[in-house]
Amino acid sequence: MEGSNVTLVVEFILLGFIDLPSLQGFLFGIFLVIYLSILLGNGLIILITKTDPSLQTPIYYFLGNFSFLEICYASVTVPRMLADLWTHNRNISLWACATQLCLFLILGVTECFLLTVMAYDRYVAICKPLYYFLIMKHNVCVGLVVGSWILGIPVVIGLTYQIFSLPFCDSTELNQVFCDIYPVLQVACGDTSMNELSVYADVVFFGIIPFILILNSYIRIITTILKLPSATGRSKAFSTCSSHLTVVSLFFVTAIMTHLQTKTSHSAATERVLSLLYTTMTPLVNPIIYSLRNKNVIVALRKLLPTGI
């Protein structure tokens, strides 16, 4: 790929927080604490859902898998960001950038599907309680989780290949803390409208459609809850869904807002904030939300942790 303004790119430069030179050490400390908290919090959720006999039900099976996914999701971006802040070496090879983007998108798609599966589980539990264990058999749960992990892989690999097959301009600086779609498209030469169209189609299929399915589940759930004669029953039913609904709102709103921009309307500062929200804050608050709003999780944690905590 040669030309007057086209170069053979072998690496990119992640600008990250280069505009905040005096805060590099502070930001390293903040994100290190966040990452360790993600590992600890989600690791505890995985441990209790695997070992506590009272949590051997479908919803906690999904929660354990979701916590594992959150650890993977954060691990694709945060360690590299920490290394950049510590060493100030922001160069990343073309292949490393493509791999990071591909894994990041695969895990993002998996999160969309897994959150949809968890919404369906709550729908069955509340709207069809007598058939819950008949519908949500273990092999069905395993199939739903496996499907969530693998369904988007072929499309994401194809999208990543399409993006990194583009010719790149002389500038290889990515105004982001990790390799994401729009920073890469910004340094590509020529017309990227077809690539943007592919991104929109993927966002609709892997983001908006799951979000609509989740909304449909919760409309049915809320309709069923409002028909319950007991105020206590309604309160208990709402509390079983509030944790999941909070995580859904945080993840989907920020993710969809980020990836429905165009190359021209793209704001690097806005995308950086939004991407940090759904790549670090959702994995961070996930165990907190589920612990604070779930008595069974609190009891299991008290059994696991030393007396007095």
The pLDDT assigned to 138 comes to 92
Amino acid (one-letter) located at 259: H
Task: Specify the pLDDT at position 9.
Answer: 64
CA atoms within 13 A on the CB side of 106: 19
Per-residue pLDDT at 297: 81
| 15, part of any domain | yes
Q: Are 296 and 219 in contact (CB under 8 A)?
A: no
The tens-digit pLDDT sequence of the chain (309 residues) is 444 455 566 788 888 888 778 888 898 999 999 999 999 999 999 999 998 888 888 989 999 999 999 999 999 999 999 998 888 888 888 899 999 999 999 999 999 999 999 999 989 988 888 899 999 999 999 999 999 999 989 999 999 999 988 888 767 888 888 888 888 888 888 778 888 888 888 888 888 899 899 999 989 988 888 887 777 667 776 776 777 787 888 787 777 776 665 555 556 666 677 778 778 888 888 888 877 667 778 888 888 776 544
139 within a domain of the structure (yes/no): yes
- Asked, for residue 193, whether it belongs to a domain, the answer is yes
Check: pTM over 0.85? Answer yes or no.
Answer: yes
Range of the structural domain that residue 151 is part of: 6-304
Mean pLDDT, the chain, integer: 84
**Is residue 142 a part of any domain in this protein?**
yes
pLDDT for residue 3: 47
pLDDT of residue 200: 85
d(CA 169, CA 165): 13
Closest CA to 14 of 135, 242, 179, 260: 179
> Does residue 297 belong to any structural domain of this protein?
yes
CATH number at residue 235: 1.20.1070.10
CA–CA gap between residue 209 and residue 207 (Å, rounded):
6
Q: Look at the chain and report how many structural domains it folds into.
A: 1
In sequence order, the 6+-apart residues with CB closer than 8 A to the CB of 183 are: 174, 175, 176, 268, 271
DSSP secondary structure letter of residue 21: G
Quote the CA–CA distance of 235 and 226 in Å, as a whole number. Answer: 10
Domain contains 309 = no
The verdict on residue 119 lying in a domain is yes
Q: Is residue 1 part of a domain?
A: no
pLDDT, residue 1, reads 43
